[in-house]
Amino acid sequence: MPRVLTGLPAKHAAVALALPLLLLLLVGWMPPPISARPSPGPDYLRRGWLRLLAEGEGCAPCRLEECVTPRGCLAGRVHDACGCCWECANLEGQLCDLDPSAHFYGRCGEQLECRLDTGGDLSHGEVPEPLCACRSQRPLCGSDGRTYAQICRLQEAARARPDTNLTVAHPGPCEAEPQIMLQPYDIWNVTGQDVIFGCEVFAYPMASIEWRKDGLDIQLPGDDPHISVQFRGGPQRFEVTSWLQIQAVRPSDEGTYRCLARNALGEVEAPATLTVLTPDQLNSTGIPQLRSLNLAPEVAESEENEDYY
């Protein structure tokens, strides 16, 4: 005779015995808690664990009619782990699976490969992560006349705007007249202070930059010892940055200064005005501090250690 729980009918007792077993099975299929997993980002983890839950341990027979067509895949499409349905590939900079047989973070898209990112400070305990990286880092010109840093960026733009039919016009950057990416801005300051105007220009062929002051026919700095001009490649490829520094400004320095950039295809300029106040003029304005003044900008370090020339 089967043993029956005291006070319960046989049917109810069977249900009571089956409930703990069902709970154990459910717990066994649950993924580890988020806090116990690596933390490259909740989106990647969520997608990875949901993928494992959906696919299970094996592949069911492939039924193409049941596959959902993915949309908005900027890095292209790849087959899922079972080689049946299509899914969106991972973009440049997203986590990926170094082991081709694994399928947790996903696979990189067209022209991309999974590499260990060793750019961090490994001496401080940082662990390199597998990220999708573009196979080519050579710039190219798109059919829209824009320069793209590499083929992966152009393909992303083409998939984001399919109606433009964006293609590669030719390797290397597009030849174009200079474009001022960061123009000098108007500055107010008090006599005796230093000021700096900055001008960042993109062009191919590379542009030359001149500084001039309205009312003067000479190219700065001329022979004026308290004015200096500096140039540097960057911060991005095919860019040039120039600074005009005026030390210990005086009332005669007041005026409009122009950044002129030119190459074989054209030229462009951007003006900025310097207003110089004496201490007496400053006090008469009733402003206790120069909170609203545009002071000298910091010189930004280049993000890429390479020769721009």
| pLDDT score of 307 more than 70 | no
What pLDDT does residue 159 have?
Answer: 95
Which among 270, 247, 152 has a CA at the least distance from the CA of 194? 247
What pLDDT does residue 161 have?
Answer: 93
Distance between CA atoms of residues 249 and 193, nearest Å: 6
What pLDDT does residue 126 have?
Answer: 73
| pLDDT score of 32 more than 60 | no
| pLDDT score of 56 more than 70 | no
Rg of the Cα atoms in the chain: 31
Q: Tokens for 236, please give them.
A: 């991005």
Task: Write the pLDDT tens digit of every residue in 62-112.
Answer: 999 989 999 999 999 999 888 899 999 999 999 999 988 888 899 999 999
Tell me which range, 17-21, 38-42, 299-303, is most confidently predicted by mean pLDDT: 17-21
CATH topology classification for 177-279 = Immunoglobulin-like (2.60.40)
Give me the mean pLDDT over the 282-303 stretch. Answer: 51
Q: For residue 131, which amino acid is it?
A: L
Write the CB contacts of 176 (distance below 8 Å, at least 6 apart in sequence): 145, 147, 203, 204, 265
Task: Write the pLDDT tens digit of every residue in 136-192.
Answer: 999 999 999 989 989 999 999 999 999 999 999 999 999 989 999 999 999 999 999
Band of residue 279 on the pLDDT scale cut at 50, 70, 90? confident
Distance between CA atoms of residues 20 and 4, nearest Å: 17
Domain segments of the chain as ranges? 66-119+127-135, 140-174, 177-279
Domain 66-119+127-135 and domain 177-279 have a common topology: no
Domain covering 66-119+127-135: architecture: Irregular (4.10)
Percentages (nearest 5) of helix, strand, coil residues in the chain: 20, 30, 50
What pLDDT does residue 296 have?
Answer: 43
| pLDDT score of 35 more than 50 | no
User: Among all chains, which residue has been given the structure tokens 């349905």?
Assistant: 85
Band of residue 34 on the pLDDT scale cut at 50, 70, 90? very low
